[in-house]
Structure 1
Amino acid sequence: MTATRWFGLATLTLLFATSALAQAPKAVGRWTTIDDETKKPKSVITIYEEGGKLFGKIEKLYREPNEEQNPVCDKCEGALKNQPILGMVILRNLEKDDDEWSGGTILDPANGKTYKCKIAVEDGGKKLKVRGYIGMALLGRTQYWVRAE
């Protein structure tokens, strides 16, 4: 192999390796939600992409032995009323917007309310910043979910 070809091949390999490392961590995957009050794991949410949008469903609930192990969303409205929370899609229609996903909604099964939502991957892919809000993003609440093992 000539020196010119060798240099060209080495340059291409370096470019591909650099671009692979420069890709932002993905929101797709399994995330553990943390209870705001107890700071204990509350659930595992699986975020997946469908048609270029992100969705998230409840894969697992961490419940105390004396709690209902398969609760229903009794405060939800419409088709979700009294449906099992386990397996429920709570994140819907988030679209990529620079370094975050926005324009979708998040359902809080605890109160049955749906909020506008945006999410962003932080800490090298270890944390997910989840912001639920009404109207403007300033009027809302932020939670940090951690990547599930």
Structure 2
Amino acid sequence: MKYLFTLCIMTLSFVSYGQSITGQWETYDDETKEKKAIIEIYKTDNLYFAKIVKSFKSDKNAVCDNCKGTKKGKPISGLVIIENIKKDDDEFNGGTILDPENGKIYKCYLELVNKNKLKVRGFLGVSLFGRTQYWIRKE
């Protein structure tokens, strides 16, 4: 019995930690709960990035007017909004997230809640001051 319990725990650990954050995720408006965008998370050189694949809040030709630097005036579709996230145990952190609505860049961490739900936290300074969203894996 003891061995069966240990085997179950090991299997559950493998399943939860073996999941990937890569793929497409749907985001929703915090207030209206309407679908906001489809975001694709991808991995390059052991770092994770995310770009907007489709925005439901703006037309297909919308650009990031509030962004600064090289992203100013770039199309919303295809815009990289998460950069340089590193995997650290079951959390992904050390990178930044861009809010294309206001052009501000925040520190960011991601945490896979389960295989279909991703916790996305953008914050200033310490993670106490920020905003959390939950993204749903696109089927």
Query: So what's the TM-score if we normalise by structure 1?
Result: 0.81
What SS does the aligned partner of 2:20 have?
Answer: coil
Q: Any gaps of 5 or more consecutive residues in structure 1?
A: 1-13
Alignment partner, residue 78 of structure 2? 87
Aligned residues: 129
**Cα separation, 1, equivalents of 2:70 and 2:16:** 42
**Cα separation, 2, equivalents of 1:147 and 1:37:** 20
Maintained 8 Å contact 2:17/2:90 = no
Alignment partner, residue 133 of structure 1? 123
The one-letter amino acid paired with 2:87 is K
Q: Rg bigger for which structure?
A: 1
Q: 1:38 aligns with which of 21, 32, 44?
A: 32
Task: Give the drift of 1:69.
Answer: 3.0
Alignment partner, residue 57 of structure 1? 51
Higher strand proportion, which one? 2
**Cα separation, 1, equivalents of 2:77 and 2:84:** 20
Poorly superposed stretches of 4+, deviation over 6 Å: none
Aligned-residue CA RMSD in angstroms? 1.7
Identify if the C-alpha distance between structure 1 residues 22 and 132 changes in structure 2 by more than 3 Å, giving closer, same or farther. closer
CA deviation vs aligned residue, 1:48-75 (integer Å, no higher than 9, x gap):
0000010000001114xxx533210000
Task: Give the drift of 1:98.
Answer: 1.1
Identify if the C-alpha distance between structure 1 residues 21 and 145 changes in structure 2 by more than 3 Å, giving closer, same or farther. closer
Alignment partner, residue 22 of structure 2? 28
Alignment partner, residue 7 of structure 1? none
Alignment partner, residue 4 of structure 2? none
Percent identity, please.
51
Query: So what's the TM-score if we normalise by structure 2?
Result: 0.86
Task: Give the drift of 1:20.
Answer: 6.0
**Cα separation, 2, equivalents of 1:137 and 1:37:** 22
